[in-house]
Amino acid sequence: MQEILFEFLILFLSGSSLVFGADLVIKAVSSFAKKLGASEYFIGFMVVAIGTSAPELVNALIASITALKTSNLLFKNSLGNIVVGNIIGANILDSLLVFGIMVFVAKKLLVEEEVINKSTFLMLILIILPLILTLDGFLSNVDGLILIFAFLFYVKDLWDKEASLGKLEKDVPLKKLVHEFLVFGLGIPIVIISSKYFIISAVKIADFLRIPSFIIGLTLVSFGTTLPELSVGILSSLKGHKNIGFGNILGSVIFNILFILGISALINPISVEINSFLISFMFMICGVYIAILFLDKKTITWREGLGLLVLYLTFLIVQFKGI
C-alpha cells in the first residue's frame, strides 16, 4: 500500500511540474515572438514543436543506430517498423487527441495568424509524401534525404511567408533574448522529464489496479509521448496564446513525419510492411486534413474538438479489432 501511495505522490508532483514547465515554455515563446516580431505560430512551430518532439527523436535515433549495428535481419526490420509505427502513432495523437482536447477545453478558438492559412495546403502535400515513398515497401537513404529536404523546404517556405507579413525585426541583439533562452531551456526539460515520470507512475498505478497490459500500452504509454504537446497546447489556449499550441501541434506532425523519419532512413534504410500501417497512415492523413480544414474555418468550437476526439476513439476501436 505504501508503494502505491508513493506512486500517487509522484503522479501529483510530476503533473504539477508538467504544468509549471509548460507555463515557462509559453512565457518564453510569447516573449520571443514579441521581440523578434514573429508570429506565435511560427515560434511554436520552429522552437516548441522541435523541443516537445525530443522524445520521439531520441527513440528513433536509438532504434535506427541499433538496427544499423545488428546483423539480424528480422530484428533490423522490426526496429524499422517500430520507428515508423511510433511516428505515425504520435502524429495521430497530436492531430486528433491533442488538438481535440485543446479545442474542447478552450470551448472556442479564433485562428488569427495569416501565416497559418498560407501554408496549410503545402503541409497536406508533405504529409502524404512518406506514404508515396513507402509504397515500394522500403525507405532508402535517398528517400530519407528527400524527406529531410522536404522538411527544410517547408521551413524555408514558412519563413518566407512570415517575412512577407513585414513584421520581422531585422536586427535583434542576442543579449536581448538571453532571458527567453534561459526560461525556454529550463521549461522544455521540465516538461519532458515530468512527462516521463507522470507516465511511469500512471502505468504502475494501472498495473496495481490490474488493468490489462495491452490497454496500458495502447492508451497510457502512447499518451505519454504526447504529454509535452498536450500540456503546452491546453495551457497556451487557456492563457490566450492558442497560436503557440497550433504551431506546436502542426510543427510536431511535420517534424516527426519528415525530419525524424528522414534521419532514421538516412542512418539505416527501413523495410516497411505497408499493409500493417496503411490504416494508421490513412487515419493520420485524415486527422491532419480535418485539423487543417478547421484552421481554415477561422473559428474552431468545442464541437469540432469533440469530433476529433470521436475520430481518435474510432481509430482505437479499429486497432482493437485488429488485435
Between 78 and 256, name the one with better pLDDT: 256
Specify the pLDDT at position 142: 94
Q: 66: which 3 cell numbers?
A: 541499433
- For 43-167+210-322, the fitting CATH number among 1.20.1420.30, 3.30.590.10, 3.90.550.10, 1.10.1040.10 is 1.20.1420.30
For the segment 33-56, what is each residue's pLDDT rounded down to a tens digit?
777 777 777 878 877 787 777 777
Burial class (CB in 10 A: 0-12, 13-18, 19+), 209: exposed
Averaged pLDDT for residues 186-208: 78
Q: Is the pLDDT of residue 136 over 90?
A: no
Q: 267: which 3 cell numbers?
A: 542512418
> Rg of the Cα trace of the chain?
19
The CA distance from 269 to 17, in Å, is 39
Specify the pLDDT at position 171: 66
Compute how many other C-beta atoms are within 10 angstroms of the C-beta atom of residue 1.
6
The model carries a pTM of 0.80
Sequence spans of domains, the chain:
43-167+210-322
The beta strand positions in the chain, using DSSP E, are 108-110, 138-139, 270-271, 299-301
Got the DSSP string for 13-47?
HHHHHHHHHHHHHHHHHHHHHHHHT--HHHHIIII
Specify the pLDDT at position 166: 63
Averaged pLDDT for residues 256-267: 91
For the segment 24-37, what is each residue's pLDDT rounded down to a tens digit?
877 887 777 777 77
Strands 299-301 vs 138-139: parallel, antiparallel or unpaired: unpaired
Q: Is the pLDDT of residue 110 over 60?
A: yes
Specify the pLDDT at position 62: 77
Q: What is the mean pLDDT of the chain?
A: 79
Q: What letter does residue 257 receive in the DSSP assignment?
A: I
Specify the pLDDT at position 289: 86
Averaged pLDDT for residues 295-313: 86
Between 264 and 214, name the one with better pLDDT: 264
For the segment 230-256, what is each residue's pLDDT rounded down to a tens digit?
788 888 887 777 777 888 888 888 988
The CA distance from 178 to 203, in Å, is 38
Q: Is the pLDDT of residue 149 over 90?
A: yes
Compute how many other C-beta atoms are within 10 angstroms of the C-beta atom of residue 100.
25
Indicate the pLDDT class of residue 258, thresholds 50, 70 and 90: very high
Indicate the pLDDT class of residue 147, thresholds 50, 70 and 90: very high
Q: 91: which 3 cell numbers?
A: 502524429
Partners of 108 in the β-ladder: 301
User: Which string of b and e fits 249-285 if b means at least 16 CB within 10 Å?
Assistant: bbbbbbbbbbbbbbbbbbbbbbbbeeeebeebbebbb
Specify the pLDDT at position 91: 87
